[in-house]
Amino acid sequence: MRRALIAGNWKMNLDRAEAVALAAAIAERSGAAQEVDLAVFPPSVYLDAVRDAVRGSRLAYGAQNMCHQPNGAFTGEISAAMLVDLGCRYVILGHSERRHILGETNAEVNQKTIAALAAGLVPIVCVGELLAEREAGRTGEVIRQQFDGSLAGLSAEQTARLVIAYEPVWAIGTGKVATPQQAEAVHMDLRKILKDRYNATIADGVRILYGGSVKASNAAELLTQPNVDGALVGGASLKADEFLGIAAGVSRK
């Protein structure tokens, strides 16, 4: 039985006071969603403030990115150990904005995933096709390449500890959500890839989130798909009511 995870990616938004207020508002009401894991991903400079704001609640938090190296001369970077030090449980890796705007490669996502797991973080590894790739019928192939590249060399034990997020790039921040059938088809493919590479136990256990224009009004129909185990939410995670409304969609399963 996979426990649903609703993850809020705040991206490069909010100031410190707004981040604290949002985290506190979600934390305060997080007790209502007992059967769902909840996590928020503020800008890294606000992680300490968010830690204080959610203390004592069941709201977890994590970072939007990290460095693949443990320490050293990597100006501007943040290590996995630093995130652990701040109380992070999760880290988002290979988000499409990092892949397509900042040029992150599968090989880099792979190194980061290995480093995050070694530090005890739960990586949320993102994959997803561009609109042109979907229209060319290449969705399966692209997802497969990203999966193989980003998760190269991982043992079954390592893979069992991570989360995968399917985020079609054409659905991110566009208001154009994938249909439940489109999402479910890719999630099923990903689970089959997991089964072929490892075994049925790993495939059944790994959580696969959907991301791309999820909001409270469309969450329930996505989250009731058998292979959709939660959501990675951008824009709608910046409002406590919307975010918690998405989590409420899980209990209707």
* Binding region for ligand PGA (CB under 6 A): 9, 167, 172-173, 211-214, 232-236
| Catalytic member of 95, 108, 133, 184 | 95
Strand stretches in 85-148, DSSP E:
90-93, 122-127
The residue with tokens 């800008």 is 43
Rounded to 10 deg, the angle between the 139-150 and 106-119 helix axes is: 50
First and final C-alpha spacing in the chain: 13
Decide if 167 is catalytic. yes
* Residue number, 1 or 101, with CB nearest to ligand PGA: 101
| Residue 159 amino acid letter | T
Residue 64: CB minimum distance to ligand PGA, A: 9
Q: What are the two backbone dihedrals, phi and then psi, of residue 210, each rounded to the nearest 5 degrees?
A: -105, 140
Residue 172: CB minimum distance to ligand PGA, A: 4
Residue 81: CB minimum distance to ligand PGA, A: 25
Residue 200: CB minimum distance to ligand PGA, A: 29
| Catalytic member of 167, 184, 187, 242 | 167
Q: What residue is closest to ligand PGA based on CB? A: 234
Separation between Cα atoms, residue 115 and residue 140, nearest integer Å: 27
> For 99-119, b where at least 16 C-beta lie within 10 A, e where not — what string?
beeeebebebbbbbbbbbbeb
* Residue number, 173 or 226, with CB nearest to ligand PGA: 173
* Residue number, 80 or 233, with CB nearest to ligand PGA: 233
* Residue number, 96 or 159, with CB nearest to ligand PGA: 96
Separation between Cα atoms, residue 196 and residue 235, nearest integer Å: 35
CA 229 vs. chain centroid, Å, equals: 11
Decide if 68 is catalytic. no
Residues annotated as part of the active site: 95, 167
